[in-house]
Amino acid sequence: MSEAASAATGNVAGAASRTLASDAWRSLRRRPDVIISGLIITFFVVMAAFPTLFTSVSPRHCVIGDAKIKPQGFGNEFPLGTDSFGCDTLAQLAHGSRPSLLLALVVVGTALVIGVTLGLLAGYYLGWVDFVVSRTVEVFLVIPYLLAAMLLLSLFKNVDLGSGTFTTIMLPAIVLTLFGWMGYARYVRASVLEAKNLDYVTAARALGASDLRIMFRHVLPNAIGPVTALVPTAIAGVIGAEAVLAFLGIGVRPPAISWGIMIENGSSWVLGGYPHMLLVPLAALLATVLSLVVLGDALRDALDPRLSA
Amino acid sequence: MTESRPAGAELVDERPAHGGSVLEVRDLVKHYPVRSGLLRRSAGAVKAVDGVSLTLDRGRTLGLVGESGSGKSTLARVLVGVETPTSGQVLVDGEDVTGRSRAGRKQLRRDVQMVFQDPYTSLNPRMSVSEIVGEPFAIHRIDPAGGRRAAVGELLELVGLDPDHANRYPHQFSGGQRQRVGIARALALRPKILVCDEPVSALDVSVQGQVINLLEDLQEELGLSYLFVAHDLGVVRHIAHDVAVMYLGRIVEQGPEADVYGAARHPYTQALLSAVPVPDPSVRLVAPTVVEPSPVEPPLVEPVDPSLVEPVETRIQTGEKRPGIGGIVLEGDPPSPVDPPSGCPFHTRCWLAPTLPEARGEAAASSTKGSETESAGPVVPDRGLRLVPSVCETEVPALVTRGAAPDHVAACHFARELAAPGAGA
- At B83-123, the pLDDT tens digits run 888 888 888 888 887 766 767 777 767 888 999 989 889 99
Among A3, A216, A220, the residue to mutate for chain B (most B Cβ within 10 A) = A3
Quick: pLDDT tens for B315-363.
Answer: 444 444 444 345 777 777 778 888 888 888 888 888 888 777 777 665 5
Q: Which of A199, A212, A217, A307 to mutate to test the interface with B (most CBs of B within 10 A)?
A: A199
Nearest-CA distance from A205 to chain B in Å? 6
Find out whether B346 and B50 touch, Cβ atoms under 8 Å. no
- The residues in A 250-269 lying below 8 A from B, measured between CB atoms, are none
Per-residue pLDDT for B158 more than 80? yes
Residues of chain B with CATH 3.40.50.300: 21-231
Interface test with A, best of B78, B80, B132, B139 (most A CBs within 10 A): B139
pLDDT at B422 over 70: no
Establish if B169 touches chain A: CB-CB under 8 angstroms: yes
| b/e B362-374 (16+ beta carbons within 10 angstroms → b) | bbeebeeeeeebe
Asked if A259 contacts A96 with a C-beta cutoff of 8 angstroms, the reply is: yes
Q: Is B382 helix (H, G, I), strand (E, B) or coil?
A: coil
Structure confidence by residue, pLDDT tens digits, A89-143: 888 888 888 888 888 899 999 999 999 999 999 999 988 999 999 999 999 999 8
Specify whether the backbone of B69 is left (phi greater than 0), alpha (psi in -120 to 50) or beta: left
* Residue B279, φ and ψ in degrees, nearest 5: -60, -35
**Which CATH code is given to the segment(s) B21-231?**
3.40.50.300
Residue ranges of chain A with per-residue pLDDT less than 70: 1-20, 65, 67-68, 72-76, 158-165, 247, 254-255, 308-309
Question: Of B114, B122, B125, which is closest to A305 when you measure between CB atoms?
Answer: B125
Is the ipTM of this structure higher than 0.95? Answer: no
B177 touches chain A (CB under 8 A): yes
Answer whether 0.90 is exceeded by the pTM: no
* CB contact B162 to A (< 8 Å): yes
Q: What is the pLDDT of residue B231?
A: 82
Long-range pairs, A146-153, Cβ under 8 A, ≥24: A146/A244, A148/A175, A148/A178, A148/A179, A149/A175, A149/A176, A149/A179, A149/A245, A149/A250, A150/A248, A150/A250, A152/A178, A153/A245, A153/A250, A153/A251
Q: Which amino acid is at A279?
A: L
B172/A199 CB distance under 8 A:
no
Candidates 3.50.50.60, 1.10.3720.10, 1.10.443.10, 1.10.3130.10; correct CATH number of A21-308? Answer: 1.10.3720.10
